[in-house]
Chain A
Amino acid sequence: MTRPLRPLIDLLAGDRTADRIVPPTGFTARLTSFTAGAMAFLVVFALALSVAAGRMAERWSDALAQTATIRISAPAAQMQAQTDKVLAILKETPGVAAARALSDDEQKKLLEPWFGPDLPLDALPVPRLIDVRETATGFDADGLKNRLAAEVPGAVLDDHTRWRRPLVAAADRLRLLGLMSILLIGGATAAMITLAANAALAANAQVIRVLRLIGSRDSYIARAFVRRFTLRALSGAAAGTLAGMGAIALMPATDQAGSFLTGLGFQGLGWLLPLLVPPAAALVSFAATRGAALATLRRLT
């Protein structure tokens, strides 16, 4: 168990001499820090998008899953009897917390946006709506539908599944897209840091030649480069993460606008999530630089 972790332990322990053998270079240092910083900034946004999408999917799913509507279409003379019958059935149905028929005024208000305030509800064959509240465990929608079909043929149960599913699926896709973006950004970071590490290794060919000549092991030489690049990535990603978190924090609050975009952000302990980005960037940099360094060294005698 210790052996595979040895390079990481050595990296964390540090080695003042190994740190000094690679000359300080400006270009690759700045490139690595900038890349890690920019990528961390983007990851924070992707993370925020993913978290917000997940939150939205849950909220929609929960909110809609707790309610259902029964629509009764019947001749005016039979409407009240069928309504009473449906309410009686609902009372006996396990999983139904409460059920009530909407009053004429309530139905009028619902139709107002489409038909205006002067709607003559009495003169129109408007179906009666029954609002159903579920318990936490919910009811057997198929069973209820079958019973309604048998006993009150004019009653139709709408448990919102039809339009809840695509909404939740869209939110889930959005969350997946965010996670995929994070993976792609991680891959791009690894690729760019590998290029920077290769450039640094090529620029320090003389250092490597001297170290091989005096009997340094590959692991020692690699460690010197890996530690430097890992620390650069860590510091760059820390700066990028802080900037990203700051930008997210400055976005308008959800309750001010109420739309999805303004709800993009972290809540509560969710703000700890972006703090994983700098160590993750350091880990990516560690793996990428170590791979590049050992591959370069293997080509040398």
Chain B
Amino acid sequence: MIDFQNVAYNYGGGELLTDISLRLPPGSFHFLTGPSGAGKSTFLKLCYGELHPTAGRVTVDDGDLRSLTRDQVAALRRRIGVVHQDCQFLDHLPVAENIALPLTATGHPVDREDLSALMGWVGLMPLAQHLPPQLSGGERQRAALARAVIMSPDVILADEPTGNLDWDMSLRLLTLLIELNKMGKTVLIATHDLNLIRSAKSQVPVRVLRIRDRRLQLAGSDL
């Protein structure tokens, strides 16, 4: 459903991504890897319209992201859940309200039971009324994941979701993402954690992409 056609991106100080063509089919599980500064975050931002390519085009369900109105971009982002490494919240609202924010901010009613179930799934039920600054790194990542999936999006994009987590917590988060993929969600994780990739490969069929020299390539069996 997300389609990159000969995409290039230039920050102004030289080209970061060159001639990238890729299709992310529905229900697929991809890892995006590469050294720091290779353009992984930029690639993700191109997926949900925070950035626009300087050449080529990115389409979601055959719709060119560049031609979308601001309201259409907002609607698109409800179908794409994003988890950032430095996940940001509204620090004055309790965790439960932050997680439910995509629903409340779009006028949808919040089903308390569903919200509790979701918070239980990510293991944050006891912290429902805590404020985000009171959470640890792992708890923030799980809260961000819960917020990203509460609208039941078709696609989950995660940018270094385990960057600040210990291995046990990383595996726990990976398990949640694998469960979502098994529910039919498309998952794309940008990471440089090769162990995480190996662990995922042992559980679900994944494709590993690597950004090298500004281009995207399919990683070999070394991963």
Q: Could you tell me which A residues sit within 8 Å of B by CB distance? A: 17-18, 20-21, 23-24, 206-207, 209-218, 220, 297-298, 301
Contact with A along B155-196 (1 / 0, CB 8 A): 000000000000000000000000000000000000000000
Q: Could you tell me which B residues sit within 8 Å of A by CB distance? A: 49-52, 70-71, 73-78, 82, 88-93, 97, 101-102, 104-106, 147, 151
A217 touches B50 (CB 8 A): no
Given A301-B49, A301-B51, also A215-B105 (CB < 8 A): yes
B90 touches A215 (CB 8 A): no
Q: Which residues of the other chain, A, contact B151 by a CB distance below 8 angstroms?
A: 215
B74 touches A23 (CB 8 A): no
Expressed in whole angstroms, the Cα–Cα distance for A3 and B97 within the complex equals 31
Q: Which residues of the other chain, A, contact B50 by a CB distance below 8 angstroms?
A: 301
A-B contact pairs, 5 of them (CB 8 A): A21-B101, A210-B90, A214-B147, A215-B102, A298-B70
B105 touches A216 (CB 8 A): yes
Expressed in whole angstroms, the Cα–Cα distance for A112 and B147 within the complex equals 93
Given A301-B49, A301-B50, A301-B51, also A214-B102 (CB < 8 A): yes
Q: Which residues of the other chain, B, contact A215 by a CB distance below 8 angstroms?
A: 74-78, 102, 105-106, 151
Expressed in whole angstroms, the Cα–Cα distance for A206 and B132 within the complex equals 13
B82 touches A218 (CB 8 A): no
Identify the closest chain B residue to A216 (Cβ).
Answer: B105
Expressed in whole angstroms, the Cα–Cα distance for A211 and B89 within the complex equals 9
A214 touches B105 (CB 8 A): yes
Expressed in whole angstroms, the Cα–Cα distance for A211 and B52 within the complex equals 19
Q: Which residues of the other chain, A, contact B51 by a CB distance below 8 angstroms?
A: 301
Top 3 A-B pairs, shortest CB-CB distance = A215-B78, A215-B77, A23-B92
Given contacts A21-B101, A206-B90, A211-B105, 5 further A-B contacts (CB under 8 A): A206-B91, A210-B90, A214-B105, A217-B74, A297-B70
Expressed in whole angstroms, the Cα–Cα distance for A220 and B107 within the complex equals 10
Q: Which residues of the other chain, B, contact A17 by a CB distance below 8 angstroms?
A: 104-105
A218 touches B105 (CB 8 A): no
Q: Which residues of the other chain, B, contact A218 by a CB distance below 8 angstroms?
A: 70-71, 74
Identify the closest chain B residue to A218 (Cβ).
Answer: B70
Expressed in whole angstroms, the Cα–Cα distance for A212 and B77 within the complex equals 8
Q: How far is the CB of A25 from chain B (nearest CB, A)?
A: 10
Q: How far is the CB of A267 from chain B (nearest CB, A)?
A: 49
Q: How far is the CB of B133 from chain A (nearest CB, A)?
A: 12
Most buried by B among A21, A23, A206, A215: A215
Identify the closest chain A residue to B45 (Cβ).
Answer: A301
B88 touches A210 (CB 8 A): yes
Identify the closest chain A residue to B52 (Cβ).
Answer: A301
Q: Which residues of the other chain, B, contact A214 by a CB distance below 8 angstroms?
A: 77-78, 101-102, 105, 147
